[in-house]
Chain A
Amino acid sequence: MKADSPRSLLDPNADCRRHAFAYLDESAKREIRRQTLKAVAIPGHQVPFAGREIPIARGWGTGGLQLTMSLIGPKDVLKVIDQGCDGSVNAVNLRRLATMTTGCRTVSRTCEATLIQTRHTVPETPLAAGQILIFQVPYPEILRLVEPSETVTRRMHAEADYHRMWTFLYENVVQWGGITIGFRYPVKVHGRYLMDPSPIPRWDIPKLDRSPALMLFGAGREKRIYALPPFTRVEPLAFTDLPFEVEQQFGARCARCGASDAFLDEIPVEEAGKTCWACSDTDYCDQRLADKRGDNGA
């Protein structure tokens, strides 16, 4: 320790004013990578990690961001979306922090990204081997639907004791004639762990099954990481005589590009009581439009 008088923490040259690459220091990154490897080795299993506070509020994507920050290198190409949209305010904010602390290239084209951080949707464009999709997760524990205690849910996972979730689904069918879970639909991973796919709609569940991409799930506030290695079996929980169905969207089409094979958001328009539909995935919508106009040499 130097012997001169202590420098004020407000001094612009103080050590604490400089940020590490991707904000997190090396020991934080190392821990996250280790826990991520553990998670990849046990598909669907939640691995605890000591999350760090970062300049984004808890609950606003710190889990996904810590994963991104631990994995990103100078040559990575980053895409950040929220509800499928690159322009969404929170996605913009997260992207700003990433570029500020890494200088990495950012894109909106799904096919050009090496790392994609997402909140609540899976891109419509099929992912390729070598891409990593990082989910922001508010609730890592799917069993929280039936049990508030962490101690009990850990035992249930350890013993593959999921009968209470099945009972929940059974009552759902008794009450409503079908399973009415719209998002956070419980899935069985690699035939073993029950997993919370994060609040993605049913529409996106089939995209998880045996995807060539690596999918990572980060819950910052709850301090859990879990993973789907490439080509992992992911099956939504369903009774054999009541197969899983995605949203029908009642024949709607995107008002912008005409798509009916993408998840569509319903948006109120100026005339009272009227709505129109638009692709949630803005990049997908942009590409379809460009294709239609012949911009992509299609």
Chain B
Amino acid sequence: MGYIAVRGGEEAITNAETLLHYYRTRGKSASLSTDQIREQLPLALDRVMGEGALYAPELAALAFKQAAGDTLEAAFLLRAHRSSVSRIGASEVVDTGKMRVRRRISAAFKNIPGGQVLGATADYTHHLIRFELLTNEAEARERTVRAFEDLARDGESVPDTFPKVVDMLRAEGLLSQKKPGDARPYDITLRPLEFPAPRSARLQVLARAETGGMLALAYANMRGYGHVHPVIGELRVGEVPLYFKGSRGNGPDLLGWVRVTECEVVTQMEKAEANSSARFTLGYGLCFGHNETKAISMAVLDRALMDEEVKSPTQDQEFVLLHTDGIEASGFCLHYKLPHYVTFQADREQIRTVRAAAKEEETVEG
């Protein structure tokens, strides 16, 4: 049988895409609206926005729907979309002390000024599947809403903002004073990352890195491939105001509120420098949306990358920063699905050459 050239690629691709959307839409269930996704699956969207590096809940919901729940694909859609939107400028530096706190805890102290605000969390529930969510949905929802409203009516009001725990530690002199830092943070979306990377670049890479990858490396560090033992000075979740200095010159405008998770971990002592005593060092984590795993992992990795002596890959800047971007890592991993037959052919040729040479030698010797 003669060789027939490969054709019809364009048609195959279009059909593959059609099939993809067919699987998502052929069922008899009602179509998911972006409102439903936003209201009822917010944590998935927070992860998508955090890894897509674009805070846009409506777009995230749409991307998540289109991706049929694949968070990396959805994050990729957001990132690619962001490239097509023109950048207006940078906001004023965000003061997380002004956060409208929804949740705020500290593991470093039993109690803190303002109190431990548990907020909405599953941390202390039993992680059992609630089968009652299957039946009488509308009724159940109404009951849940009313139960909370009753609770809220009788409860004390909680202040919007809270002081920062780490400020207490600073006042005691136990933390290094905030260094002035870069005047302008290194923006990795405008400049290529080079090593050694300044701290602002490291934090930016981590802020948009993939949660699972960061978790794996932070976990490895905590377990022994490194030595960060993170005491959480403060973990807070809430909305922070974004201000932008427009062209009107009246002072910065409030653009809106963005939900973030912030984590500050207090770790082992630094060596005493001349003229000062021993101090703790701070690891910092911040990401879009409500994602505690990511914020804590980020703070651990931030601290790990400060170590001068690199004994473990989790302390190595290149290792951590080049391999935790979800879009890049998954893109490369998946690219191996592309045809590689030419390079494979080249390798087969090499093996044949080696084997032929070995055979010749055998014949000569034998």
Direct chain A–B contact by Cβ atoms under 8 Å? yes
Chain A interface (Cβ < 8 Å from any Cβ of B): 1, 8-10, 15-16, 19-20, 23-25, 28, 48-55, 57-60, 62, 82-85, 87-93, 96, 119-121, 138, 148-151, 176-178, 180-183, 199-203, 221, 223, 247-250, 255-256, 263-267, 269-271, 276, 278, 280, 282, 285
CB–CB A50/B191 < 8 A: yes
Q: Show 15 residue pairs from A and B whose CB-CB distance is below 8 angstroms, ordered by the A residue.
A: A53-B83, A53-B327, A57-B335, A60-B335, A84-B342, A90-B339, A92-B10, A120-B340, A178-B353, A180-B354, A183-B346, A199-B343, A223-B193, A256-B3, A278-B3
B residues within 8 A CB of A83? 339-342
Given A92-B10, A138-B335, 12 more pairs with CB closer than 8 A? A24-B83, A50-B191, A53-B83, A59-B332, A83-B342, A89-B13, A90-B338, A180-B350, A183-B347, A201-B343, A265-B342, A278-B3
CB–CB B334/A57 < 8 A: yes
- A53-B82 contact in complex given A92-B13, A202-B346, A266-B348, C-beta closer than 8 Å: yes
Q: Is B200 an interface residue (CB 8 A)?
A: no
B residues within 8 A CB of A200? 342
A residues within 8 A CB of B357? 177-178
CB–CB B349/A247 < 8 A: yes
Q: Measured between alpha carbons, how far is A181 from B353 in the docked complex, in Å?
A: 12
Q: Measured between alpha carbons, how far is A29 from B12 in the docked complex, in Å?
A: 32
- Picked from B80, B335, B350, the residue with its CB within 8 Å of the CB of A182 is B350
Q: Measured between alpha carbons, how far is A19 from B10 in the docked complex, in Å?
A: 23
- A282-B5 contact in complex given A9-B59, A250-B352, C-beta closer than 8 Å: yes
CB–CB B190/A53 < 8 A: no
Q: Select from chain A the residue with minimum beta-carbon distance to B10.
A: A92
Q: Is B97 an interface residue (CB 8 A)?
A: no
Q: Select from chain B the residue with minimum beta-carbon distance to A18.
A: B84
Q: Measured between alpha carbons, how far is A138 from B333 in the docked complex, in Å?
A: 11
CB–CB B343/A182 < 8 A: yes
CB–CB A9/B58 < 8 A: yes
- Picked from B6, B85, B194, B327, the residue with its CB within 8 Å of the CB of A85 is B6
Q: Measured between alpha carbons, how far is A96 from B17 in the docked complex, in Å?
A: 14
CB–CB A247/B84 < 8 A: no
A residues within 8 A CB of B191? 50
A residues within 8 A CB of B354? 176-178, 180
B residues within 8 A CB of A57? 76, 327, 330-331, 334-335
B residues within 8 A CB of A23? 83-84
CB–CB B345/A265 < 8 A: yes
CB–CB A149/B318 < 8 A: yes
B residues within 8 A CB of A265? 341-342, 345
- A53-B353 contact in complex given A9-B59, A201-B346, C-beta closer than 8 Å: no
As a 0/1 sequence over residues 171 to 193 of chain B, the CB contacts with chain A under 8 angstroms (1 = contact) are: 00000000000000000111111
B residues within 8 A CB of A223? 192-193
CB–CB A151/B343 < 8 A: no
